[in-house]
Every structure is written in C-alpha cells, then in structure tokens.
Structure 1
Amino acid sequence: MPVQKRFIAGAICPRCAEMDRIRSWEQNGIRYRECVSCDFFEQLPIEEQAAPELATRVNRPREEEESGDFQTVRILDPKGR
C-alpha cells in the first residue's frame, strides 16, 4: 500500500520560503517532510508520548489551592466611616 503524502496548509519552506509547498508523511516510525518547489527534505523520528507535565501553581488542580490556610482581608476606610 503506498504511503499517503499530505500537504501542510500554511507551512512555509525553510529553504525557498514558498508557502503551501511542504508535504508530509510517516513511514516506519519516521516523519518525513519535503518541499515540492525546491530540494528541501527532512526526516524526524516520531516521538513517543511526552512525559507528564510537572505540576506548578498555574496548572495544579483547584482542590490543592483550597486546602491551604487563608486569611480574610479587610479593607479599611481611611476616613473612619
């Protein structure tokens, strides 16, 4: 069965700078890209599943945030009202 090559919409060739000329395909665990306008050709190994993202204060679940000790902030009126 022949490998199906697909064009990448909006991709710009790194060699000739032509848009919509790059096509890509995968074969035997390797990803290939080539330009149909020039002789650009690239092969990259297909990466396995990436390692899980490290937990930070930005992406941790909300339950962890709510378990901490919090104090209520009271805003005072400087005029004493």
Structure 2
Amino acid sequence: MSEGPVITKRRFIAGAVCPACSEPDKLMMWSENDVPHRECVACGYADTLNEQGLSVPRELGTRVNTSALKVADAKVQAVQFFPNPKLKKKPDEQQ
C-alpha cells in the first residue's frame, strides 16, 4: 500500500460559477483524502470544502502567522520638496 494522499481525478462542474470572478463553467473540483477542493481556472481562486459542501474560511492574517516585515531597500532616498517662489501669489491678487 502507498502512504501518499489519495487524489481523485480533477473534473469541471457544469453550471458552477466562481465565487471570486463570477465566471461560469470555470470551476475544477477534486478530492484529497476525501476532502473536496475547488479551483477556478480563470482567476486562480481556490478553497477547501467541508462535509456540508460549504467553503472553509482561511485563517485571517495576524502578526503571529504572517512573515516578518521586509528590510527597507538601501537604494531608496527621501525627497524634500521646497515651495517655488515664482508661484507665490502677490498680496493684491488675493480676494
């Protein structure tokens, strides 16, 4: 016997509409170890379904389960803007 996951053949579901992009007939379904999965071939949306056929929500991103902040790029420089004195309004032009 093999110890790997049991994966069924991927199939398209006729009339199914993608919950993300609303494209009809683009959802592909398959099962891994009796857990149904679906994926949209148009937009790449993918999720897992529970026993009732409802989408299992993904875990929300928090400071604990997300990666650390990226290190700032050394090539980035701060820019300071100075007012242009030629664009300054004269006192008699103000209303």
Q: What is residue 32 of structure 1 aligned with on the other side?
A: 37
Q: Which moved more, 1:1-10 or 1:13-22?
A: 1-10
CA-based RMSD of the aligned residues comes to 1.7
2:15 equivalent to 1:10 = yes
Tell me, yes or no, if structure 1 residue 43 matches structure 2 residue 48: yes
**What letter corresponds to residue 19 of structure 1 in structure 2?**
P
Task: Report % sequence identity.
Answer: 40
Paired residue total: 47
Whole-Å separation in 2 of the counterparts to 1:38 and 1:22: 10
Residues 53-74 of structure 1, C-alpha deviation per residue, up to 9 Å, x if partnerless? xxxxxxxxxxxxxxxxxxxxxx
- The alpha carbon displacement at 1:44 in A equals 1.6
TM-score using structure 2 length: 0.44
Amino acid at match of 2:35: I
Counterparts in 2 of 1:30 and 1:3: CA distance versus 1, 3 Å? same
TM-score (norm 1): 0.51
* 12-21 or 1-10: bigger deviation: 1-10
In the alignment, which residue of structure 2 is the partner of 1:69?
Answer: none
Deviations 1:4-25 (Å, cap 9, x if unpaired)? 1000000010101100000101
Deviation at 1:2, TM superposition (A): 6.0
Runs of 4+ in 1 over 3 A off after TM superposition: none
| Relative contact order, higher structure (CA 8 A, sep 6+) | 1
Structure 2 residues not aligned, in runs of 5+: 1-5, 53-95
Contact 1:29 1:46 in 2 (8 A): no
